């Protein structure tokens, strides 16, 4: 068991060096759960990736909202009303927002 713990700590350290903190936390949480032995490999990978993906996609969407001078969280995206007086700076924001919004809706449907 000590060998497994040493390997776990080494993997967690490597993930944190790569700035994948949420993956590291998810792995640690799963490893310490009583169901870890019965989990298949793809479930372990999926949970680790999901933890990091959720954090990164939220930060990306939040950054795009700030760049577009909009307020709101992904749950309030439909409250962001466009106006003919709004000036988008930088100019790529409408395209980026539509792409992120479409991706967000697709992700919600898959849940």
pTM of the entire predicted model: 0.55
Parse the chain into domains and list their residue ranges: 2-110
Is the CB of residue 15 less than 8 Å from the CB of residue 23?
A: yes
Residues of the chain with pLDDT below 50 are none
Report how far residue 25's alpha carbon sits from residue 19's, in angstroms, rounded to the nearest whole number: 12
d(CA 56, CA 75): 16
Check residue 63 and give its pLDDT.
84
* Residue-level length of the chain: 111
pLDDT tens-digit readout, 89-103: 556 666 666 666 665
């Amino acid at each position: 068991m000590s060998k497994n713990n040493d390997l776990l700590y080494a993997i967690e350290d490597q993930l944190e060096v790569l700035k994948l903190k949420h993956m590291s936390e998810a792995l640690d949480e799963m490893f310490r759960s009583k169901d870890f032995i019965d989990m298949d490999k793809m479930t372990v990978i999926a949970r680790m990736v999901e933890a990091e993906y959720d954090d990164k996609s939220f930060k990306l969407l939040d950054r795009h909202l700030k760049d577009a001078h909009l307020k709101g969280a992904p749950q309030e995206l439909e409250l962001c009303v466009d106006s003919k007086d709004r000036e988008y700076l930088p100019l790529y924001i409408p395209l980026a927002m539509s792409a992120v919004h479409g991706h967000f809706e697709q992700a919600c449907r898959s849940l």
